[in-house]
Amino acid sequence: MISFSSIQHRSTQNSTTITTAVASSSASTTNRTFLLPHHHTHKFYFNSPPFFQTVDLPRRLCIRAIDAAQPYDYEAQLVNRFSQSGKLKIAIIGFGNFGQFLAKAFIRQGHIVFAHSRSDYSSIAQSLGATFFFDTHDLCEEHPDVILLCTSIISTESVLKSLPIQRLRRNTLFVDVLSVKEFPKNIFLQYLPSHFDILCTHPMFGPESGKNGWQNLAFVFDKVRIGNEESRLTRAETFLDIFKNEGCRMVEMTCAEHDKYAAGSQFITHTMGRILEKLQLDSTQINTKGYETLLNLVENTASDSFDLYYGLFMYNKNAMEQLERLDLAFEALKKELFGHLHEVLRKQLFGKSEESPRLVLAKLPSKLAKNGTPLLPVSKSETETVVNNNN
Ligand code: NAP
C-alpha cells in the first residue's frame, strides 16, 4: 500500500528546501529533497494516485517531481497519450536558415520541436518555442518520433554518420528536406538499419519564396521505406499533413524523377539568378515588369547559401548536362546575333550579289533540343569552312 507520509518545508534566504518522505511500499521509504528558487509558487501537486491531493504551503510553490515514484509503464503511458493527440516530436538536425523556417510551422501546428546544429542556436530555438540540444545523445534520448535532416547537402553524410542512432526508438522515422533527392535516399538506405522508416521530401520553396505562406507551393515526397504497422503509416501521414495543412500542393514522385525535373528547373533558376547577381543589376525608375522579375530572381536565389547551390550541382547527376546546355544556348544565341551583324556588314561591303552568310548560320538550330537530347551544334570548323568559302 503506497501512502504519503510527511512534508517538511524550510526557507532560507535564496531558496526553499522541501523534504518529502514518501513510502513507496510498507517496506521502503524514499526521501527526496528539492531546492527551489523563491519565485516559485508554493503549491504541491501530486497527480498520480493515491497522491491526489494539493498541499497548500505558506507561499505558493509548484513542484513537478518527475522522478517521483510512478507506475512502471508511466513513460509508455505518456508516449501513448501523446501519440493519440496526433502531435509529433520532431528533431531538426541542422537548425540554420531553412531548419528555423520549418520549425515555425511545426510549432504553430502544435508539434514539439527539438533542434540540434553545429552552431549554438539555443536562444533562437527558445524564442521560437523549440528545445535546443548541444549534444545529439541527449536529443536522441528524448525519443523523437521524427529525425528531420536539414543540414547542407554537402555535410549530410557526415552528420548522419555522427548521430547516435542506437539511442533512438527502433522504428524512428527519418525525413530529409534536401534539395536533391537520390543522394539522401541512398545514404539513408546505406546507413540506417532496416527498422527505421525513411521519407524523402523536398519543399519546393524557401524562407524567401514561402514567407507569405505555403498555399499552392509544391511539396515533393517519396515514401522510400515505411513499415506496415498502422502507427508507422499514421506517423508518416501526420508528418505530411503538416505541409498539407499549410496548403502545399503535395506531389508524390520518385527521388530519381525529382532530380531529373529539378535539374532542368531549380538548378537552371539558381544558375541564372547567380549569373545575374554577378552583373550587379540596378533598379531604375524605368524598370519593366520583366526586369523586375529578374531582380526578384536575384533576391530569391542570392539569399541561399553557396553550399546549397553547390549541392544542387554536385549531388544531382543531371546538373552538369544542364550547365552544358546553358553554355551551348548562350553560344548559339551569340552566333545568331553576330550572324545578323555580319550579314549587314557584308551587304554594305559587297552588295546583294553575295550569298548571305546568314544562310550558313541558319543551319544552327535556333532552339536547343528538349531536355534529355543534348544539342549537337554545327561544328565550328563546319561553320567556318562555309563562311570562308563565301569570302
Ligand atoms: P545550407 O547552407 O544548405 O545548410 C545550412 C545548414 O547546414 C545549417 O544548419 C548548418 O549548421 C548546417 N551545416 C553546414 N555545414 C555543416 C557541417 N560541416 N557540419 C554540420 N552541419 C553543417 O542552407 P539552408 O538554407 O539552411 O538549407 C538546409 C537544407 O534544406 C539543405 O539541404 C537545402 O538543400 C534544403 N532546402 C533549403 C531550401 C531553402 O530555400 N533554403 C529549400 C528547400 C530545401 P550551422 O548553421 O549550425 O552551421
Question: How is 183-214 classified by DSSP, letter by letter?
Answer: HHHHHHHHHS-TTSEEEEEEES--TTTTTT--
pLDDT of residue 387: 40
- Choice from 133, 151, 182 to test ligand 1 binding pocket (greatest atom count within 8 A of CB): 151
pLDDT 10s digits, 217-236 = 999 999 999 999 999 999 99
| Residues 227 and 173: beta-carbon distance below 8 Å | no
| Local confidence band at 354 (pLDDT 50, 70, 90 cut-offs) | low
Determine the atom of ligand 1 nearest the C-alpha atom of 307.
2
Residues with CB under 6 A from ligand 1: 94-99, 117-119, 150-153, 155, 159, 177-179, 203, 206, 304-305, 307-308, 311
Model confidence at 364, pLDDT cuts 50, 70, 90, reads: low
pLDDT band at 9 (very low <50, low <70, confident <90, very high): very low
Q: Supply the pLDDT for residue 342.
A: 85
Ligand 1 pocket mutation pick from 95, 134, 152 by most atoms within 8 angstroms of CB:
152
Q: In what order do the strands lie in the sheet with 173-176?
A: 131-132, 112-116, 89-93, 146-149, 173-176, 197-203, 218-225, 249-252
pLDDT at 386: 38
**369 contacts: CB under 8 Å, gap ≥ 6:** 375
| Lowest model confidence (mean pLDDT) among 23-32, 151-160, 214-223, 250-259 | 23-32
Q: Which atom of ligand 1 is nearest to the CA of 207?
A: 40
Q: What is the pLDDT of residue 40?
A: 39
- In the structure, what pLDDT confidence band is assigned to residue 25 with cuts at 50, 70 and 90? very low
pLDDT for residue 303: 87
> How many whole angstroms from 252 Cα to the centroid of ligand 1?
23
Closest atom of ligand 1 to 97 CA is: 26
Q: Looking at ligand 1, which residue's alpha carbon is closest to its atom 40?
A: 206
- Cα(178) to ligand 1 centroid in Å equals 8
Instruction: Look at residue 370 and tell me whether its pLDDT is greater than 70.
Output: yes
Ligand 1 closest atom vs CA 206:
40
Mutate which of 118, 163, 258, 309 for ligand 1 pocket (most atoms within 8 A of beta carbon): 118
pLDDT at residue 215 is higher than 90? yes
What is the number of the ligand 1 atom nearest to the C-alpha of 209?
A: 40
Give me the pLDDT at residue 282, please.
96
| CA 247–ligand 1 middle distance (angstroms) | 24
Expressed in angstroms and rounded, the spacing between residue 119 Cα and the centre of ligand 1 is 12
Specify the DSSP class assigned to residue 173.
E
For residue 85, the model assigns a pLDDT of 75
The share of the chain scoring above pLDDT 70, in percent, equals 70
> What pLDDT, on a 0 to 100 scale, did the predictor assign at position 341?
87
Nearest ligand 1 atom to the CA of 99 is: 26
Of residues 110 and 62, more confidently modeled: 110
Ligand 1 pocket test, candidate residues 93, 95, 97, most atoms within 8 A of CB: 97
- What's the confidence (pLDDT) of residue 165? 98
pLDDT score of 63: 55
**pLDDT recorded at residue 83:** 63
| Closest residue by CA, ligand 1 atom 29 | 150
- Closest ligand 1 atom number to CA of residue 305: 2
Instruction: Produce one character per residue of 246-266: b if its CB has 16 or more CB atoms within 10 Å, e if not.
Output: bebeeeeeebeebbbbbbbeb
> What pLDDT sits at residue 69?
64
Q: What are the DSSP calls for 86-101, one per residue?
A: T--EEEEE--SHHHHH
- Give the whole-angstrom CA distance, residue 377 versus residue 114: 53
For the ranges 7-11, 92-96, 332-336, the lowest mean pLDDT is seen at 7-11
97 by Cβ neighbours in 10 Å (0-12 / 13-18 / 19+) ranks as middle
